[in-house]
Amino acid sequence: MNAAIAPDAAFDLVVRNARVATAGDVFDADIGVRAGRIVALAQGLAAGASEIDARGRWVLPGGVDAHCHLAQPTSDGSRMADDFVSGTRSAACGGTTTVIPFAAQMKGQSLAQAVRDYHAVADGKACIDYAFHMIVSDATAEVVRDELPALIGQGYTSFKIYMTYDDMKLGDREILDVLDVARREGALTMIHAESSDCIAWLTERLLARGLQAPRYHGLSRPPVVEREATHRAISLAELLDTPILIVHVSGPEATDQIRWAQTRGLSIYAETCPQYLFLTADDLEGEGMHGARCICSPPPRDAASQQAIWNGLANGTFQVFSSDHAPFRYDDPQGKQPQGPDTPFNHVPNGIPGLETRLALLFSEGVLEDRIDINTFVALTSTNPAKLYGLYPRKGTIAIGADADMVIWDTDTPRVVHNAELHHNVDYTPYEGRLLRAWPAVTLSRGKVVYEDGVYRGQAGAGQFLQCEKPAPARTARSRHRHLPWLSALADAAS
């Protein structure tokens, strides 16, 4: 498939006979690449120094995984299994060419220091390009007044906040403080929406009655807990007229709140993840700690919830489909079993692996089962996250001038998922044994092959750090709610 041609050719690479899909179009073209960028899209292009024949195959923009956790520091003694070497290797082998993990501030820590520390962890290791979101867990006066605005100005233009977890959560007043900065400075706030007190109340009672097995994780965080927090997050964003994105939405209760807000014209964006399409509460069952493998928050729900999430992907309620890769090994005291087989559910680290399987799962079950069309697939997995997080049009599309991040898809070779064949450092996949009808044949990162026919060909350190522009929602005109009298009064008083 990959042939070397003339060394003095017009292009470094030509991907010939491509059936290209972007978020908006489908067309047949040869794709000419020079110096890592797409420089020509036409039929019958001149020869490249190397060529790949993509005849009969979809060629799509490389995936942008806008929510994954790599080598993120933790406060409970747990340890993430993937760093920027193994995580980006796994991503590349699954067709993802940009990742956006999180520089996480610990309580008591400077946010700027957290970003510096994360660069020390990341730089020189990734085989594909990467940007950072921040996690703001300590919204001190200094963070709100100085650090956050400065970092946004330096290209860290999105950050996540938590409404739950004692070591991470912000109260409503602190949330208002950071939303106010996001509005002023043009950043996008990602919100983990689950109600902390409801979870604590339920957890205390479940544990007091000896109900500590993994399955009770789901009962400690029922859908109403997510719905209440989602509604509250939306209300806070409406109060300050600033866009937010609700991450990892699990079912119809939260989805309905988001849809309701969108219908009212609010700038509310939403993300969902493979676990809410392909797992249910049954996956938290099983002997002993088995169910700990699928402990994530919000927890996987039921078949009706899966359907509601499919509906939300198809009807535009969700703009982003991310992995939320949070890699903890199962058979490991620094992973899913810190207290061995007696670990209570609330001490199991939250999260599941999924960087490598994200795109193939959605392609197989979404596109090839006619639940979503190919353009929607591209939008959800690449173009929309690139726009929402300030990387478009360098990332997220196949167009003249864009980085030559592309995936040639093989839809002819069914493949069963086996963890042994994945490239992460986790000792399991929640999708073991699942039959997929699509998998990348070739992944290109800025014109270089990083994965081909089952073999990783990337190079640790070849990935570049990306400074993000202002996210698209933060740049566009404010919603029709912009002239809120309380905001006008505050603005008038300040001028």
- Does 358 help bind Zn ion (rule: CB under 5 A)? no
Nearer to ligand DUC, 59 or 225 (CB): 225
Question: Who contacts 145 (Cβ-Cβ below 8 Å, separation ≥6)?
Answer: none
Query: How buried is 478 (Cβ within 10 angstroms: 0-12 exposed, 13-18 middle, 19+ buried)?
Result: middle
The DSSP line for 452-481 is ETTEE---TT---B------HHHHSPPPTT
Q: At closest approach, how far in Å is the CB of 118 from ligand DUC?
A: 16
Nearer to ligand DUC, 25 or 76 (CB): 76
Nearer to Zn ion, 218 or 458 (CB): 218
Tokens standing for residue 308: 């509601």
Nearer to Zn ion, 283 or 324 (CB): 324
Decide the pairing of beta strands 133-135 and 129-130: unpaired
Q: At closest approach, how far in Å is the CB of 205 from ligand DUC?
A: 21
Nearer to Zn ion, 361 or 441 (CB): 361
Binding segment for Zn ion among 11-19, 188-196, 266-274, 331-339 (CB under 5 A)?
188-196
Nearer to ligand DUC, 273 or 367 (CB): 273
158 binds, among ligand DUC, Zn ion, none (CB under 5 to 8 A by kind): none
CB-based contact 295:279 (threshold 8 Å): no
152 binds, among ligand DUC, Zn ion, none (CB under 5 to 8 A by kind): none
Q: At closest approach, how far in Å is the CB of 320 from Zn ion?
A: 12
227 binds, among ligand DUC, Zn ion, none (CB under 5 to 8 A by kind): none
Q: What angle do CA 85, 99, 13 make, to 5 degrees?
A: 85
Decide the pairing of beta strands 244-246 and 37-42: unpaired
Q: At closest approach, how far in Å is the CB of 351 from ligand DUC?
A: 4
Q: At closest approach, how far in Å is the CB of 387 from ligand DUC?
A: 21
Q: At closest approach, how far in Å is the CB of 216 from ligand DUC?
A: 17
Q: At closest approach, how far in Å is the CB of 66 from ligand DUC?
A: 11
350 binds, among Zn ion, ligand DUC, none (CB under 5 to 8 A by kind): ligand DUC
Decide the pairing of beta strands 96-99 and 48-53: unpaired
Nearer to Zn ion, 226 or 365 (CB): 226
- Token pair 């509250």 is found at 232
Tokens standing for residue 228: 């209440």
Q: 297: alpha, beta or left, given left = phi > 0 and alpha = psi -120 to 50?
A: beta
Nearer to Zn ion, 192 or 231 (CB): 192
CB-based contact 277:200 (threshold 8 Å): no
470 binds, among Zn ion, ligand DUC, none (CB under 5 to 8 A by kind): none
> According to CB under 5 A, which one of 183, 192, 215, 424 is a site residue for Zn ion?
192
Give the residue from 160, 97, 188 showing the smallest Cα distance to 378. 97
- Token pair 């570049």 is found at 464
397 binds, among Zn ion, ligand DUC, none (CB under 5 to 8 A by kind): none
Q: At closest approach, how far in Å is the CB of 423 from ligand DUC?
A: 20
- Does 324 help bind Zn ion (rule: CB under 5 A)? yes
Binding segment for Zn ion among 164-172, 316-324, 339-347, 357-365 (CB under 5 A)?
316-324
Q: Does residue 259 sit in helix, strand or coil?
A: helix
Tokens standing for residue 81: 């299994």
Nearer to ligand DUC, 69 or 215 (CB): 69
99 beta partners: 65, 130
Contacts with Zn ion: how many residues (CB under 5 A)? 2
Tokens standing for residue 61: 């923009």
Nearer to ligand DUC, 169 or 290 (CB): 169
Nearer to ligand DUC, 24 or 171 (CB): 171
Q: Does residue 188 sit in helix, strand or coil?
A: strand
Give the residue from 202, 178, 326, 307 showing the smallest Cα distance to 255. 307
Between CA 301 and CA 289 the distance in angstroms is: 19
45 binds, among ligand DUC, Zn ion, none (CB under 5 to 8 A by kind): none
Residues near ligand DUC, by CB under 6 A: 69, 192, 247-248, 297, 324, 326, 350-351
How many residues does this entry show for the chain? 495
Question: Who contacts 482 (Cβ-Cβ below 8 Å, separation ≥6)?
Answer: 241
Residue whose C-beta lies closest to Zn ion: 192
- Does 427 help bind Zn ion (rule: CB under 5 A)? no
Q: At closest approach, how far in Å is the CB of 162 from ligand DUC?
A: 7
Q: Which amino acid is at 472?
A: A
Q: At closest approach, how far in Å is the CB of 42 from ligand DUC?
A: 42
Q: 146: alpha, beta or left, given left = phi > 0 and alpha = psi -120 to 50?
A: alpha
Q: At closest approach, how far in Å is the CB of 40 from ligand DUC?
A: 40
Total Cβ atoms within 10 A of residue 455: 8
Residues that bind Zn ion (CB under 5 A): 192, 324
